[in-house]
Amino acid sequence: MEEEEFIEETVENEDKELRDVYSEEGREESIEDDEIDEVEQGFMQGYDAGDRLAKCSLCLKILSDDFIEEELKGELYRFCSEEHAETYKRKLEKK
Give the range of the structural domain holding residue 37, as residue numbers without chain letter: 3-49
Q: Do residues 58 and 86 share a domain?
A: yes
Q: Do residues 7 and 44 share a domain?
A: yes
Backbone angles phi, psi at 22, to 5 degrees: -85, -10
Q: Do residues 58 and 43 share a domain?
A: no
> pLDDT above 70 covers what percent of the chain?
54
Q: Do residues 8 and 35 share a domain?
A: yes
Report how far residue 47's alpha carbon sits from residue 91's, in angstroms, rounded to the nearest whole number: 34
pLDDT in tens, 70-87: 999 889 999 999 999 999
Q: Into how many domains does the chain fold?
A: 2
What predicted TM-score, i.e. pTM, was given to this entire model? 0.46
Whether 16 has a pLDDT exceeding 80, the answer reads no
Q: Do residues 31 and 58 share a domain?
A: no
Q: Do residues 45 and 77 share a domain?
A: no
pLDDT in tens, 42-78: 666 655 444 567 899 999 999 988 999 999 988 999 9
Q: Do residues 94 and 58 share a domain?
A: yes
Whether 15 has a pLDDT exceeding 60, the answer reads no
Q: For residue 84, give every residue at least 6 positions away whose Cβ sits within 8 Å of its Cβ, in sequence order, or none.
A: 56, 57, 58, 59, 68
